[in-house]
Structure 1
Amino acid sequence: MRLPSWLPWLASVILLIWYMQASAAAPRTVVIGSDVAEILAALDALEGVVGRDDTSQYPERVAALPSVGYLRQLAAEGILSLAPQRLIVAAAAGPREVLAQLEAVGVDVVRIEQGASLAALPDKVLAVARAIGHDAAGESLVSEIEADLARLAALREAAPEPPPSAMFLLSHSGMTPMAAGRDTAGQAVIEAAGGRNAFTGFNGYKAVGAEALVGVAPEVVIATRSGLEGIGGAARLWQLPGLAMTPAGREQRLIVCDDQALLGFGPRTPSALIALYEVLHGQHAGTGTACREVPS
């Protein structure tokens, strides 16, 4: 039986359409870093994302993806098990040797060099947007972020003096609670929200004793939701040695914030800092926002 003369032509057209659709599909992507994951989500660019790291927990669509481990302790085997074509990684991702291994086997590794700071956030958004070809959406998102940053700056400018003294408490299940000192994300968010870090006598995070707590006399404790859970809740927090003898302990003044929104330095961070400012300065209790005051 002789085939119709047009059949090879039709087959070629079908093959060409399939090839064009396959070429246009978003590459299989693993995203490393909560800030980068949130930016992709805010740009409506999660198509093709097949994996994440442990820190990327927002939004739910990202949290539901398989994790390849902690962003600073990546392993090539776990990432390659998802057969990625592309990796988009935050500045803190590593080890660098692992990223180099992935590049060596043909994975496109896109490094977003802007780190965890408010000043770097607009450039970070633009870098992610350029990497995925969503330049216009990136510029629109930056406009929203800059509007929030301008509002935050105006709030700080009008803040009453002296600024409230705050203690940022870092805790995870099974670890000794630590206070944020200088050069920490904890200090950065306190100051961005118009407060004063109570602990400036040391760098990094450090466990502090009763004498040190009484000496610096914080007026308010700021903790993240997971951090408060790690301690065992508000009732256990106020049992920490020395805390009851501070102004914060006597008033049992505690502000609890969403971990990733406040400390992720992603698209939600400016609005989370505005919420922290409003609660810290007694403008409202923050119910239903990224930060809220826990009743005593």
Structure 2
Amino acid sequence: MMLPSWLSWLASLALLVWHMQASAAPPRTVLIGSDVAEIVAALDDLEGVVGRDDTSQYPAAIAALPSVGYLRQLAAEGILTLAPERLIVGAAAGPREVLAQLEAVGVEVVRIEQGTSLAELPDKVLAVANAIGRDAEGEALAIEVETDLARLEALREEAQGAELSAMFLLSHSGMTPMAAGRDTAGQAVIEAAGARNAFAGFSGYKAVGAEALVGVAPEIVIATRSGLAGIGGEARLWQLPGLAMTPAGRERNLIVCDDQALLGFGPRTPATLMALHAALHSAGDATVIEEGCWRVTS
């Protein structure tokens, strides 16, 4: 039996509306890289986001999503279980072969090339905004970031000639604590906050012995919240061989920072670096700055 013409017309209209709604729905997206995830969240565009990588822990809406693993050690199988249509990946994401496999099966992979450079942060914001169709919001956020970076540079210039010698300590549970040398995110944040890296004499992250610690004599230790927990807390920190014989150890000078806010090189990083600058140049008060950096006094 044929449908009446008016009913057939209504059915066709309903089908057309359904197709329009389906096509308007945002693609199922997985975000790889804490910087990318924070920028997307800051642009208020989490609709359609169905997954993240292990490093993406902020904000809570991101942390609540299922993880597909560590951003440098991705596996296509784990990502495909979320049936993504699109991946937005940071510069450190890989392996490249896995990303190529995903593209080969029809997943769009959007690469954000800007990495862990403060100077690249505004361009990174604009690149992510362009990828998700939030150009106007991205331009506004990039201006905010540029303003914070300009304020940070002014603070750093004020501190020239009076830079403290700082040690950035990297640690995770079960690993030997390591100091940040040249060409590391640790050195980048030390210098951006107006201090001098005590271990600029070597490249990368290295475990350092008592003799090396005493030799460079750091005046202050900078650690992340999770890094300090990985050591076993502040009391265990000062028991590291040789640290008690340094100016930092004798005075118990320690600054603790939120991991992702400081090292994620996302929208919060400039403000967190200003908090680090304030903590470096404080009189020793244990002032906590939410999601930033604070000096710990014993």
Above 0.5 in TM-score?
yes
2:86 counterpart of 1:86: yes
SS at match of 1:169: strand
Residue 203 of structure 1 and its aligned partner are, at CA, apart by: 0.3
SS at match of 2:159: coil
Is the contact between residue 183 and residue 203 of structure 1 (CA under 8 Å) also seen in structure 2?
yes
CA distance in 2: counterparts of 1:71 and 1:151, whole angstroms: 31
* 1:15-54 matched pairs, under 5 angstroms: 15-54=15-54
SS at match of 1:69: coil
CA distance in 2: counterparts of 1:291 and 1:215, whole angstroms: 27
2:65 counterpart of 1:65: yes
2:198 counterpart of 1:226: no
CA distance in 1: counterparts of 2:251 and 2:2, whole angstroms: 92
Is the contact between residue 114 and residue 121 of structure 2 (CA under 8 Å) also seen in structure 1?
yes
Letter aligned with residue 79 of structure 1: I
CA deviations over 1:15-45 (Å, ceiling 9, x no partner): 1111111111110001100000000000001
| Residue number in structure 2 paired with 1:261 | 261
| Residue number in structure 2 paired with 1:291 | 293
Is the contact between residue 275 and residue 289 of structure 2 (CA under 8 Å) also seen in structure 1?
no
Between the two proteins, the alignment pairs up a number of residues equal to: 296
| Residue number in structure 2 paired with 1:8 | 8
CA distance in 2: counterparts of 1:234 and 1:242, whole angstroms: 15
Is the contact between residue 278 and residue 286 of structure 1 (CA under 8 Å) also seen in structure 2?
no
CA distance in 1: counterparts of 2:286 and 2:277, whole angstroms: 11
2:184 counterpart of 1:184: yes
CA distance in 2: counterparts of 1:5 and 1:192, whole angstroms: 71
SS at match of 1:119: helix
Larger mean CA deviation between 103-112 and 10-19 belongs to 10-19
Structure 1 alignment gaps of length 5 or more: none
Residue 2 of structure 1 and its aligned partner are, at CA, apart by: 7.6
Letter aligned with residue 288 of structure 1: I
SS at match of 1:92: coil
Larger mean CA deviation between 158-167 and 273-282 belongs to 158-167
Larger mean CA deviation between 145-154 and 282-291 belongs to 282-291
CA distance in 1: counterparts of 2:160 and 2:127, whole angstroms: 37
SS at match of 1:158: helix
CA deviations over 1:211-261 (Å, ceiling 9, x no partner): 111111101000000000000000000000110111100110100000000
| Residue number in structure 2 paired with 1:217 | 217
| Residue number in structure 1 paired with 2:249 | 249
Is the contact between residue 275 and residue 286 of structure 1 (CA under 8 Å) also seen in structure 2?
no
Q: TM-score, normalised by structure 2?
A: 0.97
CA distance in 1: counterparts of 2:113 and 2:157, whole angstroms: 30
Residue 66 of structure 1 and its aligned partner are, at CA, apart by: 0.7
CA distance in 1: counterparts of 2:106 and 2:72, whole angstroms: 21
Is the contact between residue 166 and residue 218 of structure 1 (CA under 8 Å) also seen in structure 2?
yes
Larger mean CA deviation between 199-208 and 286-295 belongs to 286-295
Is the contact between residue 220 and residue 248 of structure 1 (CA under 8 Å) also seen in structure 2?
yes
CA deviations over 1:43-76 (Å, ceiling 9, x no partner): 0011101011111111111111111111111100
SS at match of 2:118: coil
| Residue number in structure 2 paired with 1:117 | 117
CA distance in 2: counterparts of 1:268 and 1:206, whole angstroms: 27
CA distance in 1: counterparts of 2:134 and 2:2, whole angstroms: 50
Change (3 A) 1:21 1:242: same
* 1:187-202 matched pairs, under 5 angstroms: 187-202=187-202
CA distance in 2: counterparts of 1:29 and 1:185, whole angstroms: 28
| Residue number in structure 1 paired with 2:238 | 238
Q: TM-score, normalised by structure 1?
A: 0.98
Measured on the aligned residues, the alpha-carbon RMSD in Å equals: 1.2
Change (3 A) 1:274 1:285: farther
| Residue number in structure 1 paired with 2:155 | 155
Over the matched positions of the two proteins, sequence identity in percent amounts to: 80
Letter aligned with residue 54 of structure 2: D
CA distance in 2: counterparts of 1:3 and 1:46, whole angstroms: 42
SS at match of 1:6: helix
CA distance in 1: counterparts of 2:121 and 2:156, whole angstroms: 19
